[in-house]
């Protein structure tokens, strides 16, 4: 008797786990099918999807949950439903409330064909991460009411909600938790809302699924590229050994699927940067995350044309070509320097250097201003004497010795100098600490014009 009861329980679980397997798909014995159904309780796990949260569905390897956003919209939603029916695949549709009111027949068809109805807000605003909780609540409740009105029964709408654009915020998540509504994010996406063709949609979906191994896939049933590429996507999923899992909410008659807390934990939890900037998807997210330890590879001998990375590499150093200037043309003649072949050590390929930052290229504005003034002063007084000062960091500064003697007259009131040019207001000798720019100065003999003559 006990064995018979156990057998009946196992048989019932198998029926729930595989309501639409490939063998039951009429007219298509090679269909992908739906391998099993997971029943979830939003009161226990209310934040879902490894793209933004630390939990996702308790899936096994090679299992995928297919979700669609933004519909319904004919003819694309209709075509997607036909493709899913041919393959006996069940999905979750996150519908926009006003779209559901516009096309209630599609909403009813989605439910009648065994898919899950879920909420994607009433009007799909792109400021969910900034709006007040009251405004967000109106969008959320309006979406549930519109979908329920289209299908004819609020109980037929799952307590699942996905933020438009995944623009989440903590306060709205708290509101959803108080209403026992599960907030769905994603594990990977196919970028089908961008301007890419159907082949690229399929390629990105498969590549990212291969990288994750399992998870929640985001698609959009309002995109023509998605409708065109869905048959190839489902075919490739079956060819690569993936299985589709359907998700429904728990009810009094339908208890949740047994699972352990560890099964919900995302294999690769989001980083701190992802957790901090998980709201502005998909537009600005890549640009707002700043690398904390950017590294660059050090140049090695192979960076300069060597064909080997041995410890010692013979290299002939050649100077840059020196142009030979003529009357009508220039000829580049390479000059060998030095003539002998030397041996230098190759740098390890694994060495890393910190990437330069903007601070490495900062220029002193005061110094630049002084340099500009001094340049103008040099043009007025080309024969002034200079002194040179080399500081420990091999930067020089030029100081006026103050030896220029203006002619008699009103100082600074337009008197002319020895060259006949008007001089400005009389200036005192520059202070030794005045900085006019970063320079390396080479001293030259200080001779007067009389000596040169």
Tell me whether residue 189 is exposed, middle or buried, using C-beta atoms within 10 angstroms of its C-beta: 0 to 12, 13 to 18, 19 or more.
Answer: buried
| Token reading at 176 | 């959803």
DSSP per-residue string spanning 78-129: HHHHHHHHHHT---EEEE-HHHHHH-HHHHHHHHHTTPEEEE--SS--S-TT
| Token reading at 270 | 């989001």
Tell me whether residue 101 is exposed, middle or buried, using C-beta atoms within 10 angstroms of its C-beta: 0 to 12, 13 to 18, 19 or more.
Answer: middle
Q: Which residues are catalytic?
A: 69, 220
Q: What b/e string do you get for 304-337 counting C-beta neighbours within 10 Å, with b at 16 or more?
A: eeeeeeeeebeeeeeeeeeeeeeeeeeeeeeeee
Rounded to a whole number of angstroms, the CA Rg of the chain reads: 37
What Cα–Cα distance (Å) separates residue 187 from each residue in 61, 268, 304, 337, 433? 13, 11, 43, 59, 61
Q: Which DSSP helix (H) or strand (E) runs through 314?
A: strand 312-315
DSSP per-residue string spanning 223-289: -HHHHHHHHHHHHHHHHTT-EEEEEEE--SSSPPPP--HHHHB-SSPPPHHHHHT-SSTTTTHHHHP
- The β-bridge relationship of strands 36-40 and 342-345 is unpaired
């Amino acid at each position: 008797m006990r064995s018979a009861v156990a057998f009946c329980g196992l048989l019932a679980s198998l029926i729930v786990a595989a309501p639409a397997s490939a063998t039951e798909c009429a007219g298509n014995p090679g269909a992908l099918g739906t391998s099993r159904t997971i029943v979830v309780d939003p009161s226990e796990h209310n934040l879902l999807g490894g793209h933004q949260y630390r939990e996702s569905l308790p899936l096994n390897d090679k299992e995928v949950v297919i979700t669609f956003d933004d519909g319904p919209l004919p003819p694309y939603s209709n075509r997607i439903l036909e493709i899913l029916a041919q393959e006996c695949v069940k999905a979750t549709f996150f519908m926009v409330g006003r779209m559901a009111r516009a096309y209630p027949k599609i909403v009813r068809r989605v439910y009648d064909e065994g898919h899950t109805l879920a909420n994607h807000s009433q009007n799909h605003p792109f400021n969910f991460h900034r709006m007040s909780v009251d405004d967000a609540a109106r969008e959320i409740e309006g979406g549930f009411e519109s979908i329920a009105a289209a299908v004819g029964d609020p109980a037929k709408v799952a307590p699942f909600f996905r933020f438009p654009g995944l623009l989440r915020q903590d306060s709205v998540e708290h509101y959803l938790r108080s209403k026992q509504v599960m907030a769905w994010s994603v594990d990977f996406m196919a970028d089908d809302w961008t301007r890419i063709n159907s082949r690229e949609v399929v390629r990105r979906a498969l590549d990212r699924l291969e990288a994750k191994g399992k998870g929640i896939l985001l698609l959009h049933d309002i995109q023509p590229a998605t409708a065109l590429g869905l048959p190839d996507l489902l075919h490739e999923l079956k060819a690569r050994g993936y299985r589709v899992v359907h998700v429904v909410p728990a009810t009094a008659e339908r208890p949740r699927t047994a699972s352990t807390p560890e099964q919900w934990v995302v294999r690769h939890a989001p980083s701190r940067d992802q957790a901090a900037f998980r709201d502005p998807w998909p537009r600005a997210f890549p640009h707002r995350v700043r690398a904390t330890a950017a590294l660059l590879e050090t140049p090695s001998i192979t960076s300069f044309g060597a064909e080997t990375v041995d410890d010692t590499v013979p290299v002939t150093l050649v100077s840059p070509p020196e142009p030979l200037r003529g009357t009508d043309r220039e000829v580049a003649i390479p000059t060998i320097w030095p003539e002998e072949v030397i041996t230098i050590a190759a740098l390890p390929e694994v060495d890393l250097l910190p990437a330069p930052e903007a601070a490495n290229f900062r220029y002193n504005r005061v110094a630049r201003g002084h340099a500009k003034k001094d340049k103008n002063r040099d043009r007025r007084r080309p024969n002034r004497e200079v002194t040179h000062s080399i500081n420990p960091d091999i930067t020089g500064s030029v100081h006026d010795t103050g030896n220029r003697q203006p002619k008699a007259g009103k100082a600074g009131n337009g008197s002319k100098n020895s060259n006949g040019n008007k001089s400005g207001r009389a200036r005192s000798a520059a202070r030794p600490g005045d900085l006019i720019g970063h320079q390396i100065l080479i001293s030259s003999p200080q001779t007067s014009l009389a000596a040169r003559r």
